A and B are shown apart, each in its own frame.
Chain A
Amino acid sequence: MRTVKTGVTRRSVLAGIGAGAAATLVAPKMALADKAATDEAIAKLAGGAKVQEGKVKIQLPQIAENGNTVPFTVSVDSPMTEASHVKAIHVMAEGNPSPQVASFTFTPTGKATVSMRLRLGKTQDVRAIALMSDGSVWEAKQEVKVTIGGCGG
């Protein structure tokens, strides 16, 4: 059996236990990004284009052993030619203090696949948006469960 916290923010858990250990980890008070704010940011990036599902693949662990270092790969189905290529990929995390994670700007070369590692403050959806050279916008998302160590760390 493995359990996951639900409906409890990492911050409240940290605040509730061992003040000493939590002191260096507690974030200053700020509004967390949420789905609505992330939707807004994505609409702005899309610049009026309809955001469609498909073409984009995002790979993440279903369970992040620690939210501080979560590997991700985004790939987009595209020939990456002058006539048809990915112009940009934007990665967003809905439940972080700010949704921005990274943006990637491409030219017609290689293939549209990037890998990095990101920080997730809690269990949430990670979203990837691809802007294509033909003006279309595509999206994929995946939920990542962020676990907390046995002693709260």
Chain B
Amino acid sequence: MPTPRVKIPAQAAKGEVFEVKTTIDHDMESGQRKDSAGKPIPRKIINKFVCTYNGKEVFKSDWAAAISANPYLSFFLTATESGSIELKWHDDDGQVYSASHAITVA
């Protein structure tokens, strides 16, 4: 089971713009390779990433097979209120990997 790594500040001032850095271990199998026997290796990638902030979707990203293995993603949010930032990675096979991070906004 892939394990995400996430870096988000624990505290931020109201209105402050902060960076969300994420990585997750995943092969991002493109579907364009063949194994040593010449058989095509089926595609298996993370195709969608969603970030919600206190339940509201604030950022989303759709990924194609051109995204490198062990995908790294960084983006920015504005600190509006204390609460929880939820991150979800959606796999082609239906699995969802998630991480949750508490933030205090003063």
Please give the residue numbers on chain A whose beta carbons come within 8 Å of chain B beta carbons, in ascending order: 23-28, 30, 68-71, 80, 93, 96-98, 100-107, 109-111, 113-120
Q: Give chain A's interface secondary structure class.
A: loop
A69 to B40, CA, bound (A): 22
Q: Is the CB of A116 within 8 A of B73?
A: yes
Q: How far is the CA of A70 from the CA of B69 in the complex (A)?
A: 11
Select from chain A the residue with minimum beta-carbon distance to B35: A24
Total number of B residues with any Cβ neighbor in A under 8 Å: 33
Does B60 lie within 8 Å of A104, measured CB to CB? yes
A109 in contact with B68 (CB, 8 Å) = no
The 7 closest A-B pairs by CB, nearest first: A110-B76, A100-B64, A117-B68, A105-B60, A115-B74, A110-B77, A27-B32
Residues of B within 8 A of A27 (CB): 32-33
A119 to B72, CA, bound (A): 13
Contacting pair B34 A103 (CB below 8 A):
no
Chain B, 67-104, CB within 8 A of any chain A CB: 67-69, 71-78, 80
Q: Which of B17, B33, B61 contacts A110 (CB 8 A)?
A: B17
Instruction: List residues of chain A with CB within 8 A of the CB of B36.
Output: 23-24
Instruction: Point out the residue from A30, A69, A115 that lies within 8 Å of B73, measured CB to CB.
Output: A115
Note all chain A residues with C-beta closer than 8 A to B62.
Answer: 102-103, 105
